[in-house]
Amino acid sequence: MKITLGILVAIALISIAACQAQAIASDPFNIPPATASTYPMPAATRPAKQMPTPPVNHQPTPTPKPTTTPTELPSSVSTPTPLACLQRGGRIEEGSLSTKLLRLPLDFRVYLPPCYAEQPERRYPVLYLIHGQSYNDDQWDRLGADETADRLIASGEVPPFIIIMPHDRYGNQVEPGDFGQAMIDALIPWIDRHYRTIPERSSRAVGGLSRGGGWSVDLGIGHWQYFGALGAHSPAIFPDGARNLRSWLQEIPSGYTPRIYIDVGDKDLPEIFEAATWFEDILNQMGIPHEWHLFTGFHNEEYWKNHLEGYLRWYASDW
């Protein structure tokens, strides 16, 4: 039988198609790659739907103010240069005022801390320091109260504060007289009017040495409304103060007792040593917190000068 060329070609095409069908049937994974239009991707593998970008708010959003002052500055912020006035120190002024309570004017010295003039908006705590018997308002100055304060303030160890050094002209009297009342009624109000003080008891302290220590007890406890701290350095307690000390302490409302510092030398005068330890015993009996120091030394300026820096640090510790 004669086979034509067309018939042979047809037979060959049929054989190839049969082989392809058998291969597909035996290998179910031999599937040509599908296009996106042919085989849609499962929902789990589809690209996430793109949400429209919200419109940009061109109004500035205020940054909330910090509730506390940061303790560290960013590295890009430069540290301010220390004020030159700190190195120049403070200055001493002298003043005098008249009051009906005293026969003669009340003289006093004022220590103004470094940068007082250069920082006119700043207000300052005040320390009243009273001299001893037979001395005057220059005693604390001679002991170096101003130079010591300058150094501690310039180094940043204590905040700046004002020191008032009044003159008790009647230091030879056994009873205190009206000097203390003159301080309360005349001197303190005058200082608060003429200098940039912080006129609050928490920012006002009183201290004294020897007879001045007796005054600090009378003023700091008998007039507790005016002072947040008192220092009695080798104190000569007045008889009137000794009689009234317990009742004065009992009258102070809870939480308003001033901070109290007492110190005395182990070789001090017997009557001074006895007065200091008696005062401390009263405080212990009444459960009143205080700071007590028995140092080595006599009843003299060398002793007080040696402890002057400690005194000033203590007064300024709450400021």
- For the domain that residue 181 is a member of, what is the CATH number? 3.40.50.1820
162-171 pLDDT, tens digit each? 999 999 987 6
Burial of 136 (0-12, 13-18, 19+ CB in 10 A): middle
pTM: predicted TM-score of the whole model, two decimal places? 0.74
Task: Domain count for the chain, please give it.
Answer: 1
Burial status of residue 8 (CB atoms within 10 A of its CB: 0-12, 13-18, 19 or more): exposed
pLDDT tens per residue, range 50-98? 433 433 333 333 333 333 333 333 333 434 456 899 999 999 999 999 9
What is the predicted pLDDT for the residue at 221? 97
Q: Is 233 part of a structural domain of the chain?
A: yes
Residue ranges of the chain with per-residue pLDDT less than 70? 1-82, 171-176
Query: What SS3 class is residue 50?
Result: coil
Identify whether 67 is part of a domain: no
pLDDT given for residue 83 in this prediction: 82
Whether residue 32 lies inside any domain: the answer is no
pLDDT value for 175? 59
User: Does some domain include residue 29?
Assistant: no
Residue type, 61: T
Q: What is the pLDDT, as a whole number, of residue 240?
A: 83
Asked if the structure places residue 125 within a domain, the reply is yes
> What is the pLDDT at residue 241?
84
pLDDT given for residue 170 in this prediction: 79
Q: Are 179 and 219 in contact (CB under 8 A)?
A: no
Residue 135 lies in a domain: yes
Per the structure, the complete domain to which residue 109 belongs is given by: 84-316
Q: pLDDT (tens digit, 9 = 90+) per residue, 277-291?
A: 999 999 999 999 999
Torsion angles phi and psi, residue 197, rounded to 5:
-90, 165
Confirm whether 49 is domain-assigned.
no
Model pLDDT, residue 15: 44
In a domain, 97, yes or no: yes
